[in-house]
Structures are given as structure tokens and as C-alpha cells.
Structure 1
Amino acid sequence: MTTSHASLPFDLWLFDLDGTLVETAPEIADAVNDTLAELGLAPVTLRAVRDWIGHGTRELLIQALADRTGRAADDVRADPAFAAQEAVFARHYEARCGTRSHPYPHVVPTLQALRAAGARLVVLTNKEGRYTDRVLDAHGLRGYFDRVISGDTLPVKKPQPLGVEDSLLRFGIARERCVLVGDSSIDVETARRARISVWCVPYGYNMGQPIAAAQPDRIVPDFRALLATAHPTEAAAVPVAH
């Protein structure tokens, strides 16, 4: 097993991407509306897009098309025309990645501090790999992470716990020394299935629901609070009553 770092509460930190590390909803909405316009459909709102984020951009596009055409999501998913529609979205989103997104406050210095203390850092997102790479590269974040697990890296994605298990084995770190930092009930469920700790930020995308409803172990007001256990002078993390 990897030696624990006494100055940190955890040795392995898994981070969701959209809504946790990076504010991406505006440029995702731009790409969705670029796609809808090309398909001759009316645009959707930024609020709707925020509520659809979580299961990967493919599912988000399905929700948008269902909303604009009045069809069931399953019908859109099964439509032979969907592959071509998804290709239109891919072209637009690849062009939009990095144009209207930004890391949330205190993300970069916190990642720097965790790495300096010897922690292992992993991105665990349901976003498809080609888009994950573009977002991380656009904001110079890739170098902070030991591994990036996207929605199509492994056979299954969150809330299945395989990404957590893969990371625990890869880095030889005990389950009790691992935390998933996210923004949604998907992240909480993933952590519960993997039997690891889960801390959540309150500012991300949780399908329109307050994150407290998902009962993470802690709600951290911003990234500075991730270091609160190691550095009590930082902003305190907020425990959640179960």
C-alpha cells in the first residue's frame, strides 16, 4: 500500500469535472443550441442544460432533442438518425470547448497544494474522453492529474464504481484513504457503492436539486475547504447530518 500522508485527510482524491472543477454549462449550451439550429430546432435554455448535465454529453443531447421534438428520450436514443445528429453536436462542441468555461475559484491552487503534499489526483467524469481532454487542455489542468477516467475510458461509467476501484488498485491506496469530490447525486451514489468518502460542492450541477438532498459526507463551500482538515485556518468544510 502507498504510505499515508499525515498532513492530508486522504491520499487519493477523485474529482468530477463538470460543475466541480470547471464551469462548463455555458459552452455546452452553446454547442447544444448550435446543433439544434443546424437541425432546424428551437434553442434550449442554459438552465435546462445545467439540469441535464451529469450522465455525459450523449445523454444530454438526447434530452435536448427529446425536449425540442416532443418525443420520448428512448425514442430519440433508438432513432437511426441519432448517430448523424450526435456527429453534428460533436463538431460544434469540439469547437466550443474552452471558449466559455473556466475553473472554479481556488481549484488550481488547491490542486497544486495537494500534489505538493504527495496526493494522487484523478479526474472521474462521465464526459466522453475527446471532450474531457479538450476541456482539461484548454485550462492547463491535465498536468495536475495522475489519471483521467472519462465516461468511455472503462466499460461502465458513474454511478458504477469501477472507476474508483480501478484507481484504488492502480495506486495501491486503501479505501478509507480515498475521497470522491463531486457536485451531484451521481457522485454520491458512486462513492457509496465504492465504500469511500464523498465530499460535494454546492455550486455545481445536480439535475436541479440541492446537493444536501443527496447526503454527501460533507458539503465544501469551495475548494479551499478541501484542505481544511490539514490546515485548520482554511475555510471549514460543512458536515452533513445523516
Structure 2
Amino acid sequence: MSRTTRLFQLMQALRSLPPPATATRLAALMDVTPRTIYRDIDALRGLGAVIDGASGFGYTLVEDAALPPLSFDDDELEALVFGLREVSEVGDSTLAQAANSALAKLRARLPASQAHRLEHAVLNAVSFRPLPEPGIDAAVLRKATWDEKTIRFEYTDAEDRETSREVDPLSVVFMQASLCLLAWCHLREDFRAFRLDRMRSLELTGASFRPRRVSMLRDCLAKMGESCDAGPAS
């Protein structure tokens, strides 16, 4: 791991851990020695980060020089917190971790007058029933969708019928209490929604449908809007 990468990870750890974060805990998290943490804290302070504390007492990130100043009105802040908390509840594990990381970065840069609004926002998102785990790597699926790459996977529908599908992935959405892929299905020659927990053996075909994803997604959403009872693929 390069020193630059380590310093970046140390900043993120200081944003995320409850203060004060001891050198021992930081060292264990980053798999380095406490002495390395002491040196890296000094380096971050030299780069402009305001970090309170000392060895033996723990460290608190007071001002994060790596992030630009942020300014939100109260409603904007509520919307941001609500959105990120919803992602942490309904997103896959990678997105949930990213949402929590983003909240930590917000917390590091908010003025004291607004900090309590992040911790105690009026709007919240809570899921009392765990979402079904995706049967494929959701991060790989999102990248294929962004890159507009045709994919292939095995799918089990609501009647336990198994098929092999080749689709152009358009968007991952939360609906019907699960994460679903909206896509153009080559088998059905139509738009379909596939539950991620029913997908298996995801692979790239090597084909690309660029640059049609945006227009195809628009058509897909329009069609779904016309048929409110549209369900997962069959």
C-alpha cells in the first residue's frame, strides 16, 4: 500500500470512527503499527487537517482539509441524510458501505450549527425486514450497466422456472421489497424486471449496446408507468 493511499484511508477512518480514535484501534483497522499511525497523523496535520489529541489519548478530526467547504440549507441537509440512510438500508452491501462513508464525510465538514441535524434528522429510513441477498455481485452488475455491456445470467422466476437470460442492463431499482434490474431481455424481446436475488452466474458477453442506455431506460420506465402491475420477469 502506498503512503498516499494509507493517508487517505486514515482520514476516512478518522471520519468514520467514534472520536477519540486511539492509535491502537486505527493501527488494527489499517493493519499497521501504532508508530506508523503517529507518523501519519503528523503528516496529515502538515497537509492542513486539524486533528485534536495525542498518543495515549486518541484523535479527533476537527477540520478536514481534504474536503471543500459545504453549505446546505436545513431542507437540503434533511434530503441528503434521508437519501443516504435509505441507500444504507436498501442498497447492496457495497452501496450501503459507500452511503455510510458519505455520511461520515458530511459529518466531517458540517458546521457545528448543523451537525446535530445530521445525527438527529427528522426524516429517516428503516427496514425491519432484511432484503434478499443478491445472487450475483451487484457491483459488477452496476459497472456493466454504466458501461452499457450486455450480460448473461441464470434466472429463477416466481414459479421456480429456470432460464438463461441475455439482457442489456438499464438500471437497478428498489421495488416490491427487493432490488431489481430493469433491462431489455433478448429472450423475450421486451423490457423486463429481474430480481437480483433470483439471478445467478453473471457474466459479460463482450457485446456493447452503447450509447442507447439512456433512451432505452426512458422507454422502459414509460412502459412500466403504463402498466402499474408490472412485476418481476417471467
**TM-score between the two structures when normalised by the length of structure 1:** 0.27
> Quick one: higher RCO (CA 8 Å, sep 6+), 1 or 2?
1
Query: Which structure is higher in strand share?
Result: 2
User: Bigger radius of gyration, 1 or 2?
Assistant: 2
**TM-score between the two structures when normalised by the length of structure 2:** 0.28
